[in-house]
Amino acid sequence: MNPDKFNRLFKNLKTDKKAFEEVYTEYYPLTVLHLRRCYGNLISAEDIAHDLFVKLLKMEQRDYIEHPLSWVYKLADNMAVDEIRKHKDVPLNELLIAPVNMEFISDKEEIKEYFSQLDESEVKILYMHFWEGYSFKEIAEILDIKYSNVRVKVCRAYKKFRDKNNK
């Protein structure tokens, strides 16, 4: 969305439902992806993105925003850091190795069944790669395993999926 349009819509967020819908439709998915990419399991990206839009509704227009996406990302980052600070007593490694919530991945039974056939490390790696957007290299660093192990586990998981679908 170009800056002029964003600023015009932002000015009318409180009074114009369509303006809010348009900004929300454009920026909510991008914000969730950004938060997942940057913070992974450390935060609930959907909750923070939702809170961000509540905050936008309450804000008064200030100066002209030249780079709306960067501005939205910065607000989301600040909110994410605040959320992480609230839970600073939980060690980072415990947050990163928390079990994957299968309800989040899918509500479809065949997908849940597929994931139930994978070992825990394969599920974690697939989740981190496809849902949180981490690269194989980043996953290897976070989980403290070799890059080649990450690739092998993803290949094995794909093979299990292909074998299941070819039956």
The answer to whether 48 touches 39, Cβ cutoff 8 Å, is no
Between the CA of residue 123 and those of 27, 70, 84, 154, 157, what are the distances in Å? 29, 32, 24, 9, 8
Of 60, 86, 112, which marks where a domain is finished?
Answer: 86
Looking at the fold, whether 105 and 66 belong to one and the same domain comes out as no
Total domains, the chain: 2
Inside any domain, residue 107: yes
Residue 36 belongs to domain spanning = 3-86
Looking at the fold, whether 11 and 52 belong to one and the same domain comes out as yes
Looking at the fold, whether 8 and 77 belong to one and the same domain comes out as yes
For the question of whether the overall pTM of this predicted structure is more than 0.75, the answer is no
Of 86, 111, 137, which marks where a domain is finished?
Answer: 86
Please give the pLDDT value at position 41: 62
Looking at the fold, whether 18 and 52 belong to one and the same domain comes out as yes
Per-position pLDDT tens, the chain of length 167: 888 888 888 888 778 889 888 988 889 988 888 888 777 665 678 888 889 988 888 887 677 888 888 888 888 888 887 877 676 554 444 444 444 554 545 555 666 677 777 777 787 787 777 766 677 887 888 778 898 888 888 888 777 776 766 65
- Calpha distance 149→139 (Å, rounded): 10
Looking at the fold, whether 108 and 75 belong to one and the same domain comes out as no
Looking at the fold, whether 46 and 80 belong to one and the same domain comes out as yes
Query: How many C-alpha atoms does 123 have within 13 Å on its Cβ side?
Result: 19
113: three-class secondary structure by DSSP: helix
Q: What is the Cα gyration radius of the chain?
A: 19
Please give the pLDDT value at position 93: 45
Inside any domain, residue 92: no
Looking at the fold, whether 111 and 64 belong to one and the same domain comes out as no
Inside any domain, residue 94: no
Question: Tell me, what CATH number does 151's domain have?
Answer: 1.10.10.10
